[in-house]
Structure 1
Amino acid sequence: MHQTEQIKRPTGLAVFMIIGGAIALAAAFALTLDKIAILEDPQAQLSCNFSVLVGCSTNLGSWQGALFGFPNPLIGLIAWTVVITIGAAILAGARFARWFWIGLNVGVALALVFVIWLMGQSFFVLDVLCPWCMVTWVVTIPMFLAVTLYNLRTGTIPVPAGVRRFAVGASSWIVVITIGCYLVAATVAQLKMDFLHRL
């Protein structure tokens, strides 16, 4: 199975990387424009601000919105462009070495950790839901699952046969698993923020 999986081009994964990456890139671009608007005019009315609960001004103006000393959306502009490029390269017939796939997996894992941290900050500290940020969250979760399960089932990440069989089965349930993750996040947000009554 290892040989077959390695030879077969992961077309589905590539298409998802392009589409998902493009959606998240658009969100990062929109957030970047909003950040520029705020820098030009601190009182600017942003299109992403729908209410006290739903908006991006609070996030963009917080230290959490520039964790590494520059606006977080700039990370998205770079990272999602790379993801789209990799997806396009796969469709074009490119084959990547094991270290490359593992490097990609590390990247999406770090992205997931960052997204979970940002979720926590939004739910428990900032008490606001940023629309464009949530688009990034929505894409990052299945992206991590898709890349990780692909690497597990192909043996790119060395694991016991049982884990590889699990990854093969779980790959068919990515949509369900992703929805489950969304529901967990929504439940936490509701319990902490009571957003359904504040919309």
Structure 2
Amino acid sequence: MSTQTRPGAGTPPARTADRVAAPPSPAAREALAPPVALAVLLIVGGVLGLIGAFELTIDKFALLQHPSIHLNCNINPLVTCSKNLNSPEGAVFGFPNSVIGLMCFPAPILLGVAGLAGTRFPRWFWAAFNVGMAFAIGFVMFLITQSLFHLGTLCPWCMVVWIGTIPMVIATTLFNLSTGALPLGRNGRRVGASLLGWTPLITLVVYLTVAVLAQVKLDVLHTVF
């Protein structure tokens, strides 16, 4: 008397690793990882900003202890830190501006490192991060204009902060536009996608604009050379 084997009988169950992975959830599909170039830029820019903020904080402590001290960043009457640190513009919110940098610059560094590790972040996170970047560039532009047009100085460590902040803001904003994290519609996506690759050139144009303003207002070349 023969026994019929049912289809599939005696076949070992499929291992978990062999099963087809479930499709990602809508939330996972909405998450974005920064491109490698952006992640590296966030790390480098954040480190530059953090170094500048740290050095400014150390110099401010030195000035508080010894008001007549000659700081290493005081190269000449034009290229100097002391005037900026002792001015009201050096403590816009009632404490040294560099403290803000010490608190904020670790954020892009951590985001860049996490991005290189493959971590994805939801679109609302990128939008919130861009709000912080908008504050950063607004504050930097305010300090640039105050330094050039009111104080008449070029603070070396301040310029290190500017150099690190400007490209981070440009690249982050264009990336968020291109991915729709900043909800500005198709036109916003198109503009972000078309300009993202031009971030180095746009950054260079901004740097040159600041340099031209400094030359026109302070006659940097004649003073330094």
Q: What is the TM-score when the length of structure 1 is the normalising length?
A: 0.94
**In 2: Cα distance, 1:80 partner to 1:185 partner:** 22
> More deviation in 157-166 or 140-149?
157-166
**In 1: Cα distance, 2:31 partner to 2:92 partner:** 38
The equivalent residue for 1:63 is 88
Amino acid of the residue matched to residue 87 of structure 2?
S
Larger Rg: 2
Quickly say closer, same or farther: Cα 1:168–1:33, change in 2 above 3 A. same
Structure 1 residues 8-157: aligned runs within 5 Å = 9-157=34-182
Report the secondary structure of 2:105's partner residue. Answer: helix
**In 1: Cα distance, 2:87 partner to 2:188 partner:** 41
Report the secondary structure of 1:48's partner residue. Answer: coil
Amino acid of the residue matched to residue 126 of structure 1?
L
**In 1: Cα distance, 2:32 partner to 2:199 partner:** 22
The equivalent residue for 1:176 is 201
**In 1: Cα distance, 2:30 partner to 2:215 partner:** 41
**Which consecutive aligned stretches of 4+ in structure 1 deviate over 6 angstroms post-superposition?**
none
**In 2: Cα distance, 1:142 partner to 1:164 partner:** 19
Shift of 1:6: 5.4
The equivalent residue for 2:3 is none
Contact 2:32 2:121 (8 Å CA) reproduced: no
Shift of 1:193: 1.2
Q: Which has the higher helix share?
A: 1
Match status 1:191 vs 2:216? yes
Amino acid of the residue matched to residue 123 of structure 1?
L
Q: What is the TM-score when the length of structure 2 is the normalising length?
A: 0.83
Shift of 1:165: 1.8
Amino acid of the residue matched to residue 182 of structure 1?
Y
Aligned-CA RMSD value? 1.7
